[in-house]
Amino acid sequence: MSKTENTYKMTIRLSPLAKYRLGVGYQQDGSRSKNEFIERAILYYLDQLEAERNGTLPVAIQSAIDGRLGMFEDRMSKLLFKQAVETDMALSILLEHLGIDPDYLKKLRAESVKSVKATNGRLTFERKAQEQDDEEWQD
């Protein structure tokens, strides 16, 4: 099946300026023919109209964004994995040398979850030090 079997022939009328710009533009664009250039231009313009009407991004832009986000996601997951490995190593060393009771760890985890929720994850050493000072003062 040839490429022309799935296409429709249309006649268009262009102003002399539009005809000239088409002749120059299709070569600059890298299109193999004026027909290919016109079809790509029509599809691009229709994407723009659809985006304006639906409030969505054109397919080409959405595809580019999705690709960049995919690359970002891959990079972040690799970095988080490396960080988790290092954290696991540090925790293993600490637990091995300090001999901490498992019940104490459960209590500490519950307090940490409460603290992170209360601060929306914005923890600082200063805040933790102040909390410990407050606890010592109350004891």
- Predicted confidence (pLDDT) per residue in 32-65, tens digit: 999 999 999 998 888 888 877 777 677 778 788 8
**104-110 average pLDDT score:** 89
Given a cut of 80, is residue 137 above it in pLDDT? no
Q: If you average pLDDT over every residue of the chain, what do you get?
A: 85
What gap in Å lies between CA 6 and CA 3, rounded to an integer? 6
* Cα distance between the two ends of the chain: 87
Residue 130 in 3-state DSSP? helix
Question: Tell me, what's the pLDDT at 1?
Answer: 41
Predicted TM-score (pTM) of the model is 0.43
